[in-house]
Structure 1
Amino acid sequence: MRNQGLGSWPARRAAMSPGRTALVFEDRPVTYAELHRRILRLAGALRDAGVRRGDRVAYLGQNHPAFVETMFATYVLGAVFVPLNFRLTQPEIEYQLRDSAAVALIHAQPVDADISVKIGLQAYEAFLAYEPVELDEPVTHDDVACILYTSGTTGNPKGAMLTHGNLIWNCYNLLVCVDVASDEVTLVSAPLFHVAALNQCLLPTFLKGGTSVIMPAWNVDECFDLIARHRVTWMFGVSTMFAGLAQSPRWADADLSSVRNLMTGGAPVPEALIRTYQERGLAFCQGYGMTETAPGATFLEARESREHVGSAGLPVFFTDVRIEGSPGEVLVRGPNVTPGYWNDEAATAAAFTDGDWFRTGDLAVIDEHGHFRIVDRTKDMFISGGENVYPAEVEAAIFEHPAVAEAAVVGVPDEKWGEVGRAFVVPMPGSHLDPADVPAFLAGRLAKYKIPVYVDVVDDLPRTGSNKVRKGPLRERPL
């Protein structure tokens, strides 16, 4: 095959294991052979609609087999996949579509954007009414496979480019750390537009010929039901998802006997929650990484989870990780690291140091066993329910309120979400600003998880000698 990227995977899997179940959605199984045919039909339809090598193809919607088919069809064509966060507001989605210059969009929710090919899921099956035609576009490991948007500290999202090689090497790293088997039944319960659900669960399972059980959206009861009904062996979740399972009245009697591995990331997991699962004989595989590292950088294998509770683990097999100082910024180098940001040379240059070491912006210490422990973030970003929130973006939106003179946003601890936003707002002289006005103003402008839960109206903000806002004292203020 000339296509040496992920676009060749469906054909290879269909040849090796045509009758195995690739996907299960709403209890309907799809074999690898069936999935391959559907991907070729979609690729043919997109090609006839004008999609060419290097073009961007976007997907917007909850988890669905159409996400998987659109992704692989895009890779078959040598095009670039752009998965969009369905939780974002219309203006945020439109920005990402414009920035990526997407020529095609498969969507499950309405979107107002000028795109050449725009197919809703209701018309999706009709769009696939093509005879499967074998396609073999030349694709190398260095070609860009996807663009995943991460909010920038300047307020504008940045499109992190991941190559086919980045994704493949990340799979290799994951398979070294986790004993993924050919009979794996993986519950894909986190959103597929997230790098972890996509690259740490779906793709490694596909590579091994296992089965991915796709949940449209997270639901505690449905999770318990699917684990028992399909004998799920592996799942990924952020800490809020695992906390929800442990807090459910079904927890004590739930049938989890099939589960071999639990994997988490996105934010530190409270040690008490880890021990709750260990008491059920279940171990967490914990990892640290980010979109730009595809995402694995360090990993704590299940066999070490009891001895090193709360650790982010060791560098993954094919990747180098170090820190500068102690605590120091985490730097990552390896074949899984992004080549840079889409159409943003300045951000790309700023993201690397000493040549090819990627600057994560996170602070860590390394213990006597060589394990990394993430202690803080050099950037102001915080994580709420597994979602990255960048204060600069939220502050920019608050500034649009006519009664606001200044604003500063920090993350504060929250039992349910890990962290939530707290905004300190200075009103315009002579203006009255009620704290409730800010969340109401942001509704529809920002995704719900970005909107601050707490709002303090203050007379001024603490500043440095160079007039920059000092966020440390704001984080320390009692609620």
Structure 2
Amino acid sequence: MHNEGLGGWPARRARMTPGRTALVFGGKSVSYAELARRTTRLAAQLRRAGVEPGARIAYLGTNHPAFVETMFATHMVGGVFVPLNFRLTAAEIEYMLGDSGAVVLVYAPERAAVVRELGELAGLREIVALAEPAPGERDYEPWLAAGEDTPIDLPVRLDDTALILYTSGTTGRPKGAMLTHGNLVWNTYNLLVGVDLASDEVTLISAPLFHVAALNQTLLPTFIKGDTSVLTSTWDVDVCYDLVEEFGITLMFGVTTMFAEFAQSPRWADADLSSLRTVMSGGAAIPEPLIRAYQERGLVFCQGYGMTETAPGATFLEAAESTRKVGSAGVPVFFSSVRVVRPDLTDVEPGEPGEVLIKGRNVSPGYWQNPAATADSLADGGWFRSGDIAKVDDEGHLYIVDRVKDMFISGGENVYPAEVENAIFAHPAVAEVAVVGVPDQRWGEVGRAFVVCRPDTALTRDELREFLRGRLAKYKIPVHLEVVERLPRTGSGKVQKARLREGFTGTPEN
């Protein structure tokens, strides 16, 4: 087979286990053979639409089999898949479509209103709706069904770009992190080394697939093993309990918010969770009491550390160490190297905090059309600079303690203050603004905005939130507002965000 990348996976898996169930969604099951046929037909239609190797195909919507089909079809024809965050506004989506140069957009009906708000995008050749297409758009199912199922095997190499995943940049504009087919394959290998996936796994995927962790830590490893992925369009505690019971879920992935809600459910104490072999978390450090709650329930809780640019696994805490090293992000994954360094790039001593550097075949080659950001992300020797601070114990286990960058994580979503600050600054009452993440029981962290108002103006929290609605995704909008007379600054004029996090006070919140 000429396709060395993910585009060859459906045919390879169907050849080995055609009758096994690949996906379950909405009570319907799809076998590996059927998934391969549908993916091939969709790929044929993409080629008919003029999609050539290297072209970008975007998907906007919640978890659905069409996400999986569109991704594999894109890779079958040598294209680059661009999964978009369905929580973003039309303005944010429009920027990403334009920046990536997407030629096809596939979208789910719940995102129709956002698509209708998009401006003219010169490079977009086809817009495909999963349901209720507008005039001029394609209807996904009939369009797919009209495609030929003749096998497609174009040459795709492991170092070809497979994904562009947008991460909000510290400059206020999202950056497109490129992941190659090789990055995804090697990350899958790393996951399979660290987690004992059997040949009868049933994986629940309720975290959004546009996130690197849900896609690369659950879907792809499950797929390559020929196991079953149960998809849900949203996270719902009761639905999760029902699916565990109905399908005998063996593997779950989630973030702090999801696992906290699951453990706080009235069903927690008495539910039959005996099928669950492994629960995995990533995206942010999980509080130790929550990990212990799962362990006391008899569940194996594995935690890892990584980011979009590392596809995402950089470190992993295997099941055998999950109790003894509770709270640790583990050790470097099998095929990667991790260092924790001082500002002069020398390695720290055990217990000494330093920045995490990562190197390996799972690490992104850089950012889409952004050589400056790519260069800034690399240290001498090609090490990727994470911007995260960790300590290492005397056995080599990492403990993430802080972030060099100001990014915080709210409900599993990365929030970059510079982007939020740019949006707030557009308000006519705002003279200065700084945003930090502060602890929150439900979401882990939420935004707190510190605003200096212009003379003879005022601003309330509700006014600000209304102003930002439509400009920013809901999870990016600060929950708290402090109107202050000044922002604390260093002698060089930089805002002292550490002081803001530590409780800097000004004029009381409106």
Matched-pair contact (CA < 8 Å) for 1:436–1:455: no
Determine if the alignment matches structure 1 residue 16 to structure 2 residue 42.
Answer: no
Of 130, 136, 150 in structure 2, the residue corresponding to residue 121 of structure 1 is 130
- The answer for the alignment partner of 1:222 in structure 2 is 239
For the residues of structure 2 that align with 1:283 and 1:50, how far apart are their CA atoms? 48
2:90 maps to 90
Do the aligned partners of 2:201 and 2:251 also contact (CA within 8 Å) in 1? yes
Q: Does the 8 Å CA contact 1:17/1:32 hold for their aligned counterparts? A: yes
Residue type of the partner of 1:378? V
- Residue 144 of structure 1 and its aligned partner are, at CA, apart by 0.2
CA distance in 2, matches of 1:409, 1:436: 16
**Aligned match of 2:418:** 392
Do the aligned residues in 1 keep the contact of 2:76 with 2:153 (CA within 8 Å)? Answer: yes
How far 1:434 sits from its partner (Å)?
Answer: 2.4
TM-score using structure 2 length: 0.93
In 1, are the aligned partners of 2:423 and 2:471 still within 8 Å (CA)? Answer: yes
Q: Which residue of 2 aligns with 1:473?
A: 499
* Helix, strand or coil at the partner of 2:269: helix
Q: Secondary structure at the match of 1:190?
A: coil
| Cα deviation, residue 478, structure 1 | 6.7
> One-letter code of the match for 2:397?
H
The Cα offsets for residues 176-233 of structure 1, whole Å up to 9 and x where unpaired, read as 0000111110001100000000000000000000000001110000000001100010
Map of 1:239-388 to 2, 5 A cutoff? 239-325=256-342, 326-388=352-414
Provide the rounded CA distance (Å) in 1 between the counterparts of 2:447 and 2:494. Answer: 20
One of 224, 227, 246 as aligned partner of 1:207: 224
Answering whether residue 213 of structure 2 is matched by residue 196 of structure 1, we say yes
Equivalence for 1:169: 186
CA deviation string 1:65-101 (max 9, x = no partner): 0000000000000000000000001100110000000
- Check whether the contact 2:318–2:330 (CA below 8 A) recurs between aligned residues: yes
- Aligned AA (2:269): A
Looking at structure 2, the residues matched to 142 and 422 of structure 1 have their Cα atoms a distance apart, in angstroms, of 41
- Write the distance in 2 (CA, Å) between the matches of 1:435 and 1:8: 51
- State the shift of 1:444 in Å: 1.1
Amino acid at match of 1:307: R
The yes-or-no answer on 1:442 pairing with 2:442 is no
Structure 1 runs not aligned, ≥5 long: none
Deviations 1:132-154 (A, max 9, x none): 12111110000000100000000
Return the offset for 1:368. Answer: 1.5
Structure 2 stretches of 5 or more lacking a match?
132-138, 343-351, 506-510
Tell me the distance in 2 between the aligned counterparts of 1:434 and 1:52.
51
Between the two proteins, what is the percent identity of the paired residues? Answer: 68
Q: Deviations over 1:237-282 (max 9, x none)?
A: 0011000011111111111110001000111111111111111100
Q: Is the 8 A contact 1:186 1:234 kept in 2?
A: yes
Partner SS state of residue 62, structure 1: coil
Q: Which runs of 4+ in 1 moved over 3 A?
A: none
Equivalent pair of 1:274/1:283 in contact (CA under 8 Å): no
Q: Distance in 1 between matches of 2:378 and 2:408?
A: 21
Q: Is the 8 A contact 1:398 1:407 kept in 2?
A: yes
**Superposition pairs for residues 457-472 of structure 1, below 5 Å?**
457-472=483-498
1:306 CA drift (Å): 0.5
Contact kept, 8 Å, 2:179 with 2:365, in 1: the verdict is: yes
Amino acid at match of 2:240: C
Query: What residue in structure 2 maps to residue 105 of structure 1?
Result: 105
Please tell me the residue identity of whatever aligns with 2:210. Answer: F
> For 1:347 and 1:400, how far apart are their aligned partners in 2?
25
Pairs aligned (count): 479
Q: Is 1:454 matched up with 2:452?
A: no
Could you say what the CA RMSD is over the residues aligned between the two structures, in angstroms?
0.9
1:62: Cα distance to partner?
0.4
- Hey, what's the Cα distance between the residues in 2 that align with 1:119 and 1:280? 45
Match of 2:346 in 1: none
Cα offsets for 1:256-312 (capped at 9, x unmatched):
110001000111111111111111100211000000000000000111111011000
CA–CA separation in structure 2 for the residues paired with 1:190 and 1:151? 19
How far apart, in 1, do the equivalents of 2:28 and 2:454 lie?
57
Which residue of 2 is the match for residue 154 of structure 1? 171
Corresponding residue SS for 2:442: coil
Taking the aligned partners of 2:230 and 2:165, their CA distance within structure 1 comes to 23
Maintained 8 Å contact 2:80/2:163: yes
